[in-house]
Structure 1
Amino acid sequence: MTRTVQARGIPSLRSWSGVEVALAAVLLALAGISWLLSAVLGMPEMRMGLLTGTGQAEMSGGPAPFALFLAVWVVMMAAMMLPAITPFTIGVSRLVRARRKRGVLPSLTLGYLLVWTAAGVAAWAILRGFDAIDHSGTSVRVGAVVLLVAGAYEFSPLKRWCLVRCRSPLALVVKHGDTVVRGRLGLGALRVGVHHGGYCLGCCWALMVVLLAVGAMNLLWMAVLAAVIAMEKVLPRAEIVSSALGAVLIGAGVVLLIAPGLLAPMA
């Protein structure tokens, strides 16, 4: 087991140095703070979605609501994703310390979050589209289609391709190691963070759309999806997790297409 984990580039916990433990603690502390902020900053209309009932007020348009949504979205992504990228960050930490290079890890995390910030723009557009849907049985059927698409994506070659690269951070570190340590002002680390964030987005975009459909700021669903994402990235047989998740999503989608009344009273 240890060899398998180390081969993926996720160092065994027993091999972590005090500096690496401290780094992991910082990332997890930031994630914890982000969870608290998600609970405090969450807009009421973001706590419910197509499949869990509509909020009391729809998402209003304009620059100010969009900016607020994007800020909250980034906090959400930090809460959900920082624990999952801790192994990758530890791998890069070992590389930069071996090359006696400092100051790149904040740029690495920033590059990762920049990808999810860009994804927040698309998430805003999706939410606006959801608001335009008649909140009755129609909204449940649209939510069912979202579940079906997300479930089917779990079985797709693109999902597996991105997941393999997301689960093998060492490959990215080795490939772009010189970019990390030679880039000025942390730009090399920023680029590598963007690369890793792109693979993660490729793995998780469909699940994020599901989150929008059940309630983007619903802490329970955030926690469920964060746990699933972490399992896909860390457990030895991630394909089993993906297949099981895909089957559950497709099954739920089929049931709701056939019997939207199961949730219609809530919508």
Structure 2
Amino acid sequence: MTRPALRSILWLGFFGAILASWWWLYAMAMQMDLDLIGRPGPMGEAMRRMDPRMDMYMPMAEFWPLFAMWAVMMAAMMLPTMVPTLRAYEDLMISANGTRIGWLGVLAGYSIAWLAFAALITTVQLGLLFSGVIDMLGIATSPLVAGGLLIAVGAFQFTRAKEICHGVCHSPMSFFLTRWRTGARGGLWMGLRLGAFCVGCCWGFMALGFVGGMMSLLWMGLATVFMVLEKLPQIGHFVIKPMGFALIFGGIAVIASPIVMGG
């Protein structure tokens, strides 16, 4: 197989995985909508077997279904942000002795880092669910919690940790030039490091799902677009702090709204 053909196959597979992930999330969201309005479905029947008092089933109360949802969500939302990183690796393949196996290693390492985060946030979500902080849809049950989360994620946009992690995500070429390793193991090592920095940069936008609902396609779409914009060389540095201000003001508005309405 020629190198151009292999490159095309790998990139097509990469974008195919993104499209398949979004399709899966859309199908799951639609199924949840059907169950919410009382129409029959496999999710509703499963929940009724778990608890006869429940009218619907949500895969939010068990680790493995919830982890699977988060894993697919990671693929749908984070793989698009990895395009500049994979392109940067390709640019160094000839001059720095890179290979397609190394390219796959970078992708694998990055994915492993986000799968680890998926396991962590799955555990956190279950804890929040069983403590009553969020409901079965993954939405915060209190405006104070929702607003506090918005403020916390907004404030994180101004921290040194965000600056460091975003610096690596924003300039993967600099990372490769200073930490280059060849072969599949080298690619895996670099991918793990890049994935860890990416988690550090973007974890807050994943956590914001507890404000709008874990299966909100609107939230997922907007968060994905913003995280892609953050990594664009031309504008990435200019959108971080405005988003921080927007999230903080949004959090204050969410907390104040029941007070204003009640008063």
Q: C-alpha distance in 2, partners of 1:18/1:163?
A: 33
Amino acid corresponding to residue 241 of structure 1 in structure 2: V
- After superposition, residues 96-175 of structure 1 pair within 5 angstroms as 96-98=93-95, 99=97, 101-131=99-129, 132-133=131-132, 139-175=142-178
Helix, strand or coil at the partner of 1:96? coil
Tell me what 1:52 maps to.
none
Residue 129 of structure 1, CA deviation:
3.4
Letter in 2 for 1:30: A
- Deviating above 4 A after TM superposition, structure 1's stretches of 4 or more consecutive aligned residues are 17-25, 55-61, 134-138, 261-264
Q: 1:51 maps to what in 2?
A: none
SS at match of 2:153: helix
Q: What is the rounded CA distance, in whole Å, between the counterparts of 1:41 and 1:245 in structure 2?
A: 29
> What do residues 51-93 of structure 1 show as CA deviations (whole Å, max 9, x unaligned)?
xxxx9666665xxx31222222111111111111111111212
Which AA in structure 2 matches 1:221? W
Q: 1:204 maps to which residue?
A: 202
Scaled by the length of structure 2, what TM-score is found?
0.77
Deviation at 1:232, TM superposition (A): 0.6
Q: Looking at both structures, which has the greater relative contact order when contacts are Cα pairs under 8 Å and sequence separation is at least 6?
A: 1
- Number of aligned pairs? 233
Please identify the structure whose Cα radius of gyration is greater. 2
**CA shift in 2, pair 1:135/1:194, >3 Å:** closer
RMSD of aligned Cα (Å): 3.1
One-letter identity of the residue aligned with 1:38: L
Matched, 1:253 2:251: yes
Task: Tell me by how many angstroms 1:97 deviates.
Answer: 4.2
State the partner residue of 1:35. 22
Q: Which runs of 5+ in 2 are unaligned?
A: 37-54
**Identical pairs, percent:** 26
Give 1:152 shift: 0.4
